[in-house]
């Protein structure tokens, strides 16, 4: 089954758009896309529906990638944004990545588009899950802060018939009446459902102080939960203390909800004493680790240690939580059955009213799958990076990477006043090989020449295929005399190596080599290449199969 993908493409070129769509379809996506090229069109597209990914060109006639990113951010959508450009400088790319873009690709390397989208969709899902988890944590913290609040007490005196004889201002505030209004009432007038049984004469005459919870009707008709304690006074009147427990009742409901939330939490929760002994674990802990509550109680979290988490991590953990701060980190733990798994742990101290630590609570999320996904993505990125710098036929460095390394080596040599030699190598009369034996045989010959070159060079030397039958080699920290010697060794090794060309007898291949050395007058690696190329031209026109230095 194909993966459906809704793509918003900010692009003025229909041909570039179709190329991206074809690549994504080839990668197995079922594509729904829309191409926009102005801010107004993009705003309308964002308003009409939710998009899985936004792919934007950097420069458009009426728009640009930076403005498209800002428009997406203003919409407050958690949609990955990938920039695609034919030409963008490193500073511009870094700036837009810093501004919030998730990746950028060069149009010449659109084969990275599908893996990049797959990676960013996975990351977006991880970010959404993390956001939801953080929201749940914030909600739990809000419930904790409102658990217990102090109740206000009212004092009253009633006669044997239950009529109020005296009340204080706190009781008036609780019930919403003025004092003179309450004195016109009996307890049964404001008691919801029935008269308080705890105030019955026979029970009060025994001399006991009676307690009970009741619902009362406030002046505005609302119900209020109260706790009443009452005793009989000499003379037969009854004195009572009324406490508004509505907030306590609400808090109890919140505690019930919180307890249910902890019990059904998607994260494993562990509460320990200050010495580390486990006093509580929720069902998710059992589901993840395989340890039942009975097996975990009285133990310490060391039962989960795999021995593969560095000791300094635990040192930092204890220093942090004993200082009263929250510790967050990743631990490689072991389940009861011996299976390893990754925990994303948040551990903090629980303190009493005086600020003394009484317990520790750990909220742990099993991130094993996420770690595996991250590892797969990292391996994929390494493979893609390697592909981007490797010549597909010879498995040597390609021209782009060679020029990048060449620029670095040139600057280093200039800065440190060190020697640097560069040679350009071209296979002599290679067209005859292709014409005589075919292009497949020519490809085999190129591969064998590349292998011979690698064998002939030192580990420090930098070798690349510049295109066709042309190769280039950088000799770091190597002066021209030594470079000439190395170049001659390369030439001889190739000339004396028989090369296989499919089912034909081995053939002899020779190369012409031009060599140049860095000079004060040269400004960059291109100057060295031009000098070596001129020497190569001279070698070709001087009979081939020889090494010539720049004149």
Q: Are residues 439 and 327 in the same domain?
A: no
Per-residue pLDDT at 519 = 93
Q: Are residues 178 and 269 in the same domain?
A: no
Closest CA to 425 of 551, 364, 333, 509: 509
Q: Are residues 405 and 531 in the same domain?
A: yes
How many helices (H) does the chain have, and how many strands (E)? 19, 22
Domain membership of residue 20 (yes or no) is yes
**Which CATH number goes with the domain that contains 410?**
3.30.70.270
Per-residue pLDDT at 201 = 59
Which residue, chain included where needed, has tokens 């010495």? Answer: 275
Q: Are residues 527 and 405 in the same domain?
A: yes
Per-residue pLDDT at 205 = 65
Per-residue pLDDT at 542 = 93
Looking at the DSSP bridge assignments, the partners of residue 347 are: 327, 362
Q: Are residues 333 and 393 in the same domain?
A: no
Q: Are residues 346 and 472 in the same domain?
A: no
**Which CATH number goes with the domain that contains 303?**
3.30.450.20
Do residues 332 and 313 lie in contact, with contact meaning Cβ atoms separated by under 8 Å?
no
* Cα dihedral 166, 170, 176, 178 sign: positive
Do residues 348 and 295 lie in contact, with contact meaning Cβ atoms separated by under 8 Å?
no
User: What single-letter DSSP state applies at residue 338?
Assistant: S
Q: 361 is written with which tokens?
A: 């609570």
Q: How many domains does the chain have?
A: 4
Per-residue pLDDT at 140 = 57
Q: Are residues 324 and 426 in the same domain?
A: no
Domain membership of residue 10 (yes or no) is yes
User: What single-letter DSSP state applies at residue 206?
Assistant: T
The residue from 332, 367, 402 where one domain ends is: 367
The residue from 111, 144, 172 where one domain ends is: 111
Domain membership of residue 485 (yes or no) is yes
Q: Quote the CA–CA distance of 119 and 377 in Å, as a whole number.
A: 7
| Continuous segment of H or E residues that includes residue 310 | none
Helix axes 65-74, 39-48, angle to 10 degrees: 30
Q: Half-sphere exposure (CA, 13 Å, Cβ side) for 187?
A: 26
Closest CA to 364 of 335, 331, 336: 331
Q: How many CB atoms lie within 10 A of CB 364?
A: 24
Q: Quote the CA–CA distance of 333 and 121 in Å, as a whole number.
A: 28
Per-residue pLDDT at 137 = 65
Q: Quote the CA–CA distance of 251 and 482 in Å, as a whole number.
A: 85
Q: How many CB atoms lie within 10 A of CB 258?
A: 16
Q: Quote the CA–CA distance of 478 and 483 in Å, as a whole number.
A: 6
Per-residue pLDDT at 150 = 36
Q: Quote the CA–CA distance of 215 and 225 in Å, as a whole number.
A: 5
* Cα dihedral 428, 431, 437, 443 sign: positive
Q: Quote the CA–CA distance of 347 and 355 in Å, as a whole number.
A: 17
Report the catalytic residues. 469
Domain membership of residue 130 (yes or no) is no
3-state secondary structure of 290: coil
**Which CATH number goes with the domain that contains 88?**
3.40.50.2300
Do residues 270 and 303 lie in contact, with contact meaning Cβ atoms separated by under 8 Å?
no
Plot region of 236 (φ>0 → left; ψ -120 to 50 → alpha; else → beta): left
pLDDT in tens, the chain (551 residues): 358 999 999 998 898 889 889 989 998 899 999 999 999 998 999 999 999 999 988 888 889 888 888 998 888 778 899 988 877 777 877 888 888 888 888 888 888 888 888 888 888 788 888 888 777 766 655 543 332 223 368 899 988 888 999 989 889 998 889 889 989 988 888 888 754 444 455 566 666 777 788 888 888 989 888 888 888 888 788 888 888 888 788 777 777 777 777 777 888 889 999 888 998 999 989 989 999 989 989 998 999 999 899 999 989 998 998 888 899 989 999 999 999 999 999 999 888 888 889 999 999 888 888 888 877 876 776 667 777 789 989 999 999 999 999 999 999 999 999 999 999 999 999 999 998 888 898 999 999 999 999 999 999 999 999 999 999 999 999 999 999 999 999 999 999 999 988 788 899 999 999 999 999 999 999 999 999 999 999 999 999 999 999 76
Q: Quote the CA–CA distance of 44 and 37 in Å, as a whole number.
A: 12
Do residues 403 and 514 lie in contact, with contact meaning Cβ atoms separated by under 8 Å?
no
Parent domain of 345? 265-367
Q: Quote the CA–CA distance of 421 and 519 in Å, as a whole number.
A: 10
Which residue, chain included where needed, has tokens 């102080």? Answer: 209
Domain membership of residue 384 (yes or no) is no
Q: Are residues 414 and 539 in the same domain?
A: yes
3-state secondary structure of 398: coil
Q: Are residues 278 and 237 in the same domain?
A: no
Q: Are residues 237 and 290 in the same domain?
A: no
Closest CA to 345 of 360, 319, 364: 364
Give whole-number Cα distances, 503 to 117, 443, 447, 451, 507, in Å.
Answer: 45, 14, 16, 20, 11
Q: Which residues contact 183 (CB under 8 A, 6 or more apart)?
A: 164, 165, 166, 167
Q: Quote the CA–CA distance of 181 and 189 in Å, as a whole number.
A: 12
Q: Are residues 393 and 537 in the same domain?
A: yes
Domain membership of residue 259 (yes or no) is no
Per-residue pLDDT at 36 = 92
Backbone angles phi, psi at 81, to 5 degrees: -125, 120
Do residues 165 and 185 lie in contact, with contact meaning Cβ atoms separated by under 8 Å?
no
Per-residue pLDDT at 151 = 34
Q: Quote the CA–CA distance of 376 and 366 in Å, as a whole number.
A: 18
| Segment 109-113 long-range contacts (CB within 8 Å, at least 24 positions apart) | 109/388, 110/19, 110/20, 110/23, 110/84, 111/23, 111/387, 112/384, 112/388, 113/20, 113/23, 113/24, 113/55, 113/82, 113/84
Domain membership of residue 519 (yes or no) is yes
- Our CA dihedral for 241, 245, 246, 250, rounded to 10 degrees, sits at 180
Q: 112 is written with which tokens?
A: 């990275």
Q: How many CB atoms lie within 10 A of CB 181?
A: 14
Q: Quote the CA–CA distance of 372 and 380 in Å, as a whole number.
A: 12
Domain membership of residue 383 (yes or no) is no
Q: Quote the CA–CA distance of 281 and 336 in Å, as a whole number.
A: 15
Per-residue pLDDT at 128 = 80
The residue from 334, 367, 400 where one domain ends is: 367
Closest CA to 53 of 105, 117, 128: 117
Per-residue pLDDT at 102 = 87
Q: Quote the CA–CA distance of 355 and 353 in Å, as a whole number.
A: 6
Q: Are residues 196 and 315 in the same domain?
A: no
* Cα dihedral 231, 233, 236, 242 sign: negative
Alpha carbon 223 to its chain's center? 50
């Amino acid at each position: 089954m194909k993966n459906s993908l809704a793509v918003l493409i900010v692009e003025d070129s229909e041909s570039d758009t179709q190329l991206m769509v074809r690549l994504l379809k080839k990668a197995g996506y079922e594509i729904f896309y829309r191409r926009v090229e102005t801010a107004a069109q993009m705003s309308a597209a964002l308003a009409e529906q939710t998009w899985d990914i936004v792919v934007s060109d950097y420069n458009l006639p009426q728009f640009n990638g930076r403005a498209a990113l800002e428009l997406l951010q203003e919409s407050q959508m958690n949609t990955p944004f990938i920039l695609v450009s034919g030409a963008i400088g490193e500073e511009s790319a870094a700036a837009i990545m810093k501004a919030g873009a998730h990746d950028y690709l060069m149009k010449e390397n659109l084969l990275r588009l599908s893996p990049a989208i797959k990676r960013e969709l996975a990351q977006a899902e991880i970010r959404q899950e993390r956001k939801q988890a953080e929201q749940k944590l914030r909600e739990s913290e809000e419930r904790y802060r409102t658990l217990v609040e102090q109740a206000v007490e009212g004092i009253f005196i009633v006669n044997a018939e239950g009529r109020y004889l005296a009340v204080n201002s706190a009781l008036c505030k609780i019930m919403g009446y003025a004092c003179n209004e309450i004195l016109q009432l009996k307890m049964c007038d404001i008691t919801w459902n029935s008269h308080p049984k705890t105030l019955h004469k026979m029970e009060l005459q025994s001399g006991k102080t009676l307690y009970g919870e009741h619902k009362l009707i406030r002046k505005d008709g609302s119900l209020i939960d109260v706790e009443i304690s009452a005793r009989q006074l000499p003379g037969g009147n009854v004195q009572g203390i009324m406490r508004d427990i509505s907030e306590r009742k609400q808090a109890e409901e919140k505690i019930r909800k919180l307890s249910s939330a902890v019990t059904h939490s998607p994260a494993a929760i562990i509460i320990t004493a200050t010495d580390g002994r486990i006093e509580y674990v929720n069902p998710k802990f059992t589901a993840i680790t395989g340890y039942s509550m009975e097996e975990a109680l009285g133990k310490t979290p060391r039962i989960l240690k795999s021995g593969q988490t560095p000791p300094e991590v635990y040192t930092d953990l204890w220093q942090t939580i004993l200082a009263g701060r929250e510790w967050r980190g990743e631990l490689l733990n072991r389940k009861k059955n011996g299976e390893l798994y990754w925990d994303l742990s948040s551990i903090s101290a629980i303190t009493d009213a005086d600020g003394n630590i009484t317990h520790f609570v750990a909220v742990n999320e099993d991130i094993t799958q996420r770690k595996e996904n991250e590892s797969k993505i990292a391996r994929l990125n390494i493979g893609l990076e390697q592909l981007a710098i490797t010549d597909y036929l010879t498995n040597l460095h390609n021209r782009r990477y060679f020029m990048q390394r060449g620029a670095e080596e040139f600057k280093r040599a200039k800065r440190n006043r060190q020697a640097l030699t560069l040679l350009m190598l071209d296979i002599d009369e290679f067209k005859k090989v292709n014409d005589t034996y075919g292009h497949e045989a020519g490809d085999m010959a190129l591969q064998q020449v590349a292998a011979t070159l690698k064998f002939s060079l030192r580990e420090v030397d930098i070798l690349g295929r510049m295109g066709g039958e042309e190769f280039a080699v950088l000799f770091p920290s190597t002066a021209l005399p030594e470079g000439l010697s190395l170049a001659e060794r390369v030439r001889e090794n190739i000339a004396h190596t028989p090369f296989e060309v499919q089912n034909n007898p081995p053939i002899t291949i020779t190369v012409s080599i031009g060599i140049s050395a860095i000079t004060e007058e040269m400004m960059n690696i291109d100057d060295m290449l031009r000098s070596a190329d001129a020497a190569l031209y001279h070698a070709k026109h001087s009979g081939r199969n020889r090494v010539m230095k720049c004149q």
